[in-house]
Amino acid sequence: MIYVTSDLHGCSVADFRELLDSAGFSDGDFLFILGDVIDRGEHGADLLRWISQQPDMQLILGNHEAMLLACDFIFDDITDENLSRLDSKKLNLLSTWLYNGAQPTLAGLRRIKNTDPDILEGMLDYLNDAPLFETVEAGGRRFVLVHAGIENFDPKRPLDDYTPDELLWTRPDITDRYYDNATVIFGHTPTQYYGDAHRGKILTTDSWICIDTGAAGGGSPALLRLDDMKEFYR
Ligand SMILES: [Mn+2]
């Protein structure tokens, strides 16, 4: 069966595995993670490392992973030469990422670089290969999986025509509608943004489903099984 989750934001591998176990996730199942594995929480680097090694999981890029990739220069060894290459553009990218809760991720990635530099290289390759969206079919329905929603939506516009920012940073309105023949599933915006009654719960409209249950702000991630639309919470 096919599951989706999103916005894990540095929860521990143990807590995440407990959520998967509670849903009966097992051999033959597949999980799409709709971005923002890292940042804010303490365990983003270890969680990303673990996810990147799971053959039955696919990460779709989130804005936090995109910020990490934009700052990959930080993993170069600091020498006089490349220190002078930290121009204001790079410093701005780094301060944007830090402002968005990168501190524990950076510390964790630095630990990995010091002990297993090849593992860090593999993690960066994994992120560079992560898609911005996927389309899947399950339970007789078609789904578009994307981190934040689709900004400037036009049903005639192919998905790979959108810019990364249009898929990574948008904040959909509750009245936004997308495709007639596919349900869009996204995270990025905690469901409580759409009203406190939705706090910590998956929000389903007739066009889209928001599955960010607010792990960034002290909540827990949730799982949605697409075959029967059953929701799982820790
Ligand atoms: Mn996000």
pLDDT (tens digit per residue) in 160-174: 999 999 999 999 999
Q: Tell me: the pLDDT tens digits for 31-42?
A: 999 999 999 999
pLDDT at position 178, please?
98
Residue 6: Cβ within 10 Å count: 31
Region 123-140 average pLDDT: 98
**Alpha carbons 51 and 116: distance in angstroms, whole number:** 16
> Structure pTM?
0.96
| Burial classification of residue 176, based on how many CB atoms lie within 10 Å of its CB (0-12 exposed, 13-18 middle, 19 or more buried) | middle
Give the distance (Å) from ligand 1 centre to CA of residue 31.
18
Give the distance (Å) from ligand 1 centre to CA of residue 189.
7
CATH for 2-64+131-233 is: 3.60.21.10
Cβ contact 8:185 at 8 Å: no
Is residue 78 predicted with pLDDT exceeding 90? Answer: no
Give the distance (Å) from ligand 1 centre to CA of residue 171.
10
Q: What's the pLDDT band for 10 if we cut at 50, 70, 90?
A: very high
- Calculate what percentage of the chain has a pLDDT beyond 70: 98
